[in-house]
């Protein structure tokens, strides 16, 4: 999800996977796949960069949630061991 700011100053969290397209006309209008529109203070370029950042983090396996030390390592080792076992 990306954090944007509505024109009234309130934050809104938007599922970036639902974005169909972003327009700058002059306000930034984000059209979602369901037809809903969200108007944000951020520029179209900023929205695009936020979406790219989220997709890169997802592809790299990063999350915003803190992970306790050792838990992620255990999961990775378990997955690797399971793959080796077949």
**Per residue in 25-44, pLDDT tens?**
899 999 999 999 999 999 99
Q: Is the pTM of this model over 0.85?
A: no
The CA distance from 18 to 54, in Å, is: 13
Instruction: Report the alpha-carbon distance of residue 8 to residue 75 in Å, rounded.
Output: 43
Q: What domains sit in the chain, N to C, each tagged with a CATH number?
A: 2-85 (2.40.50)
Grouping H, G, I as helix, E, B as strand and the rest as coil, residue 72 is helix
In this prediction, residues 4-30 reach a mean pLDDT of: 96
């Amino acid at each position: 999800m990306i954090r944007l700011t509505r024109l009234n100053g309130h934050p809104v969290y938007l599922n970036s996977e639902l974005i169909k397209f972003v327009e700058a006309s002059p306000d930034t209008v984000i059209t979602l796949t369901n037809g809903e529109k969200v108007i944000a203070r951020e520029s179209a370029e900023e929205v695009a960069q936020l979406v790219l950042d989220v997709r890169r983090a997802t592809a790299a396996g990063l999350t915003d949630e803190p992970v306790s030390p050792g838990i992620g390592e255990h999961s990775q080792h378990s997955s690797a061991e399971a793959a080796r076992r077949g």
